[in-house]
Structures are given as C-alpha cells and as structure tokens.
Structure 1
Amino acid sequence: MTTSSILGQFDLCADRGEFPDLDNGYYYPVAERLHLFGDRTRWALVAELLGYTPHGNSLVDVVHRFGNCLTHGEPGLGDLLDRVDNLAELDPDGTGAYPGGAPVVVRGTALAVPAGPGTPWQDVFRQLAPTHRPLLLADPAELRTGLPADLPLLLRLDEWNQPEDLGGVAPGEHETFRLIAEVLDSGDPSRYRPTLAPNTHWSHWPEAGTL
C-alpha cells in the first residue's frame, strides 16, 4: 500500500469513467460525501454522489468504492441507491416537477416539502438535503457494503475541491485526491490540509444533469 498505488487505482477508474464526477450530464447534483477507511495494510474510499436523474425520474445515491480490501466487486462504480419511495406516485407521468400537496417519502419517512407545485424535482431535493442528509445518504449498513467490517473510519468529508474536468485532470494530478491518498497511506487524517476552496456544492456545476 503506497500513495502512488492508491492514486494509480483512482486514475485507472477515471480512465474507465468510473470515478465520481459532479459534472455528470445525467444527474443533477444534490449532495455528496467521501468516507476514508484504513489501517496499516488496508485502505478504502467510499464516495457518494446524490443526484436527481430526469431520465429515470428518480433520486439516486450513486456509490463508488475503491480500495485494496474490497470484499466483493471491483473498484469503481458500486451501488445505485434509489431514495424516494413514492416518486412514481407523485409524478406518474414523469413531468419532472413536484405536483404539490404531498410529502416525499424517503425510506419510510415522510418529509414535508418546502416548495410549491411545479417546482423541478432537483430543486425540491436540494431544499430537503441540508436538513435530511443522514436520511438521504448511505446508512451504516449501505456504507459498509463491500468493506471489511473491522476497517476503521479515518476521515469523512462533506465538501472538497473536485477536478472540473476529469478528462483533462486525472485524480492523481489533483490536490484533493493526492491528499486523500496520503491520508489512506499513512492512516493520519491530519495529512488532509487542502489549500483549494471546496467546490462540491451543486451551484458550482450548472451543466450537470442537462443531457
């Protein structure tokens, strides 16, 4: 386990189109989170990108997993976790807009919607996300799927600086993921000392979801 080998895995997955991409044309970004796990010989990174896809009319937590100790599957794109229980009932025709007058049900929990009829779904979910992040993002069982049960959590990031063009800047060339690799290699969360301002908020990615 070395920093270079970790970055090599990130770059390989990026070459395959299986690295977290906030500029994905198929998903309107809503929320995101990174989880770093590791010990002296093992490492794993779990990335969550919560987004609304108009093509499937669904809110999905797109989970990527990387590491040298995954218990199943290959590094890269992992699970697609559908989050809203009643979206098909609220919008059976796939209009892409909230009809009004009803809660959004997430994992059995009814959430009041602070938006009026006709509000685009991505805006509805972006309003719900700040208050309901734990419900919308992965729970402990979902998060640890594919990881050794005893692998310690080193660091969790709710924001970071993401490369604007993964086709032009590989993760291994970008400050954020170089620092993440150092944390995973050393097991020392204090190695994460970024100088670049976070840009993961959805407002920084106006073209995402527009294909």
Structure 2
Amino acid sequence: MGMNIFGFKRKKEYTAEDILEQLDRCANDFTFPMLDNGYIYPVHSKLSAYRDGNRWALIIEVIGFNYRSGGHNGISNCLHTYGNCIDTKPGTDNANFLYITDSSSDHPTFDDEYEESLNPKSKTMILRKNEIAINHNRKFYINKGIELEEDDKIFIWEFLRGLEPEHNKDFEATENEIRTRIPRDLPQIMELTEWNHPDCADSELPSRNETFQQIAKVLETGNTELYKPNVKPNNHWKNWPAGGTL
C-alpha cells in the first residue's frame, strides 16, 4: 500500500491473487503453455516478467515444431502474453506466433514430400536472417542426448533440439517483438530459461505451482528475493516426452 497526497492508504492496482487468477483462467481456456502439447514438439522456452507499481506483464515463449504445419511453417516461437496493461486478450493467438526460419538459396532445408525431416542435400538454413550450418552427423545429435527415431533421417524436431543451447538466443523474441506486446516503459524484473512448469495436461493450474505462486509475489511486491524455488526445473524438452506425439 502506498500513500496519496492526503495521507490515506492507496490500494494497490493488483495483487498476486489477481495474477494467478488470470493465469488459471487462461489455463482453463487452453491459452497457457502446455509443454506436452500433443501436436508440438517442444524445443526451448523462456519466461520474462515486467512490473511497476500499477502494471504487470508476463510473457512465456515456447519454441517448437508443429508437425501438422510441416517445414518452416511448423517452426515457431509462440508468445503467451499476460498482464493488466496489454492490448490483447490474455493468452495467445495467431498474431503471437513468430516464424524465424527459412530455406537457404542452395537447397530446401527439409524433404519435399512430407517436410518433416532434413533434406540430405541441404548445407545451410536461415535463422533470424542469418545463414547457419546444418549438421547431418548423427553422432552430433546422439552426443547431445537426442535419440534419433529413424536410421536414415533426422526429423525437424531432432534437428532443432540440436541447435540448442548455442542458438537459444536466436529462437527467443527480440526486445522489439516483446515491446510491441507490452508497454515499452514497463521495467523488466525477471527473466528465466529454467523453471518448474505446471503439468497442465494433468490439470495442474498455475496457482497450484510453486514457480508461479512465487513469481506472482515478485510481481506484486517487486522483491525478486521472493523467488526461491525448492522444486527442480522441468521446462526442458526432455521432461515432456509426450509433446508432439499425438
């Protein structure tokens, strides 16, 4: 509570309960990240929190491959945006998908027929307007703990997982992409690439999850020391094996 010019206590514009209520509502509406979404192979994720005395915003980025779209159209960073100062409905929609890859001029990146695996002829790919090398060495992926499903091909999600952590920053939204969705003058207070995420497919709500209980308190108070997780991070793709397997 702050004081106004007359000395009366001024009610805060939001509470941790308000934040959790919005996140729960979105979880019930399926617009809160479900890391084991049956249609999407997860690759990387990031959480960013912003606040001041009257406003709060939270953006959760989920980078993955949607096999129903295929090829570069299936690779995206989906931004889930929450807050009391955003111009859109809390959650996500088609406008919040960032498409950040494309084929180089030499060869199509992926197979022509199904667009679900690497084209053996492709040498490079465009990521964020930069040309990066494509690795076809199977040992490279195996050494990163990526189990290749087929003996004669490398699937897109396996290839993308091979790009992390070296290219995680390229996957993530730029500052401008973030600021087109939240106020440009709203200060950032927290940024995480590792956290314990609720199992939404098993009906776990954000309000019952330690991570988001603590983040809500950080947003309410501005005190980052209130984020002291006791549970291990689980947002890495290895912890969500059902993702993309529907």
TM-score by length of 1: 0.94
Does residue 69 of structure 2 align to residue 36 of structure 1?
no
Which residue is 1:59 aligned to? 75
Task: List per-residue Cα deviations over 1:91-125 (Å, max 9, x = no partner).
Answer: 23224111133212112111112234721110111
Match of 1:124 among 155, 159, 163: 159
The alpha carbon displacement at 1:11 in A equals: 0.5
Which residue is 1:102 aligned to? 123
Which residue is 2:136 aligned to? 115
Give me the whole-angstrom Cα distance separating, in 2, the residues matched to 1:63 and 1:34: 10
The alpha carbon displacement at 1:47 in A equals: 0.4
Q: How does 1:42-191 map to 2 (within 5 A)?
A: 42-57=55-70, 58-70=74-86, 72-78=87-93, 79-86=96-103, 89-91=108-110, 92-100=112-120, 101-116=122-137, 118-191=153-226
Give me the whole-angstrom Cα distance separating, in 2, the residues matched to 1:83 and 1:102: 18
The alpha carbon displacement at 1:89 in A equals: 2.9
> Which of 160-169 and 130-139 deviates more?
160-169
Q: Is the 8 A contact 2:36 2:201 kept in 1?
A: no
Q: Is the 8 A contact 1:113 1:128 kept in 2?
A: no
Q: Which runs of 4+ in 1 moved over 4 A?
A: none
Give me the whole-angstrom Cα distance separating, in 1, the residues matched to 2:20 and 2:134: 41
Structure with greater Cα Rg: 2
**Same amino acid, percent of matched pairs:** 34
The alpha carbon displacement at 1:167 in A equals: 4.6
2:196 partner letter: N
Q: What are structure 2's unaligned runs of at least 5 residues?
A: 1-13, 138-151
The alpha carbon displacement at 1:21 in A equals: 1.1
1:65 partner letter: T
> Which of 79-88 and 29-38 deviates more?
79-88
Which residue is 1:4 aligned to? 17
Aligned length: 210
The alpha carbon displacement at 1:164 in A equals: 2.1
Give me the whole-angstrom Cα distance separating, in 1, the residues matched to 2:184 and 2:42: 29
Q: What are structure 1's unaligned runs of at least 5 residues?
A: none
